Amino acid sequence: MLKKFLIYVFLFIGMTYNLYAKKISVNYEARFGILGKVGAIYNTIDIKNGRYTIDTTLKLYGIAKMLLGNQKEHYISKGRVIDGLFLPDFYSMSTIKKHKRMLKEYHFKHKTHKLVRIKKKWRDGKLISDEKKIVKFYAKDDLLTLYFNMDEHIKVHKNQYKFILNVAGLERQKGKVTINVATPKDIKNYKDDLGSSTSWYAKAHIVQKSFKNKSGDILLSVSKDGYIQKAVIKDLVMYGDAVLNRIESRR
């Protein structure tokens, strides 16, 4: 459950970015109910000549590190910057835990509207599984570009308080992520969990067994400088609310 909390929180955060910047670094600290501080998320974006690379590392602390066997998570997205959006050509997810390693790669075929997934597993340094398949849905976002593109997505859907995006890496929910932008009458409810110093609020609906009802929402607040300030997952079983706070942001 700790792993799922950390992954889902940071993978559904939305923030804006400066397309003219060469390098951006934005970091967060994760806290999980009675367990306190459980990890940190380090994000770096490099933009050059119309292309980008997003590099994200998840680091565990304390009891989370112990319970998950010092598990290491690493995510990379590479592609092009088109009309203010990151359009991925390649996305990878890597997990290392003790003597096991897992790698998923997604290759985007935008001309043919296809998404190809390669999944490999190792045990004790030996390759034990190597699969390649065409995913049943096409996507223009991966789990990293989803949140770094969020501000632009909201602008594109400016007359909609609810819209759906297809995202590579979410096969269990058929790639679909529902985004709800806070309406004026909803803002008070968001402020209770996220505070008032923000430019807009939103939530992303996800499906995961860690929720009491097997699905739930990640609440998001974006600060006035365009970066996510805080995220909260409600309705988690056993440990209480999950909270992600911004701890550092530099350009």
pLDDT digit string (tens) for 142-167?
989 987 887 778 778 777 788 899 99
Alpha-carbon Rg for the chain in angstroms: 18
pLDDT digit string (tens) for 14-41?
444 444 557 888 788 888 877 788 888 8
> Residue range 45-55: average pLDDT?
93
pLDDT at site 39: 87
Give the list of residues 6+ apart from residue 242 with CB closer than 8 angstroms, or none: 5, 9, 30, 31, 32, 33, 232, 233, 236
pLDDT digit string (tens) for 74-132?
999 999 999 889 999 999 999 998 899 999 999 999 999 999 999 999 999 999 999 99
- The share of the chain scoring above pLDDT 70, in percent, equals 79
Q: Which of 120-124, 212-216, 247-251 has the lowest mean pLDDT?
A: 212-216
pLDDT digit string (tens) for 194-211?
877 667 787 777 655 444
Asked whether the predicted pLDDT for residue 8 surpasses 60, the reply is: no
Contact 86, 16 (CB under 8 A): no
Cα torsion 144, 150, 156, 162 to 10°: value is 110
Tell which residue, 60, 28, 56, has the closest CA to residue 43: 56
Q: What is the mean pLDDT of the chain?
A: 81
Q: Which of 27-31, 69-73, 214-218 has the lowest mean pLDDT?
A: 214-218
Asked whether the predicted pLDDT for residue 248 surpasses 90, the reply is: no
Q: State phi, psi for 248 to the nearest 5 degrees.
A: -165, 140
How many domains, the chain? Answer: 1
Distances from the Cα of 192 to the Cαs of 197, 200, 226, 236, in angstroms?
12, 14, 21, 18
Contact 58, 87 (CB under 8 A): no
Position 46: which residue type? D
pTM above 0.85, yes or no: no
Q: What is the DSSP letter of 171?
A: G
Q: How far apart (Å, rounded) are the C-alpha atoms in residues 5 and 208?
A: 10
pLDDT at site 9: 56
Q: How far apart (Å, rounded) are the C-alpha atoms in residues 60 and 138?
A: 32
pLDDT at site 208: 53
Residue 236's domain comprises: 2-250
CB atoms within 10 A of CB 15: 22
Confidence of residue 227 (pLDDT cuts 50, 70, 90): low
Q: Judging by DSSP bridges, how do beta strands 37-48 and 23-32 pair with one another? A: antiparallel
18-27, 57-66, 226-235 — most confident range: 57-66
Q: What is the DSSP letter of 211?
A: B
Q: How far apart (Å, rounded) are the C-alpha atoms in residues 169 and 105?
A: 9
Asked whether the predicted pLDDT for residue 212 surpasses 60, the reply is: no
pLDDT at site 14: 40
pLDDT at site 251: 46
Distances from the Cα of 82 to the Cαs of 63, 77, 79, 85, in angstroms?
42, 15, 10, 5
Q: What is the DSSP letter of 235?
A: S
pLDDT at site 133: 97
Q: Judging by DSSP bridges, how do beta strands 23-32 and 242-250 pair with one another? A: antiparallel
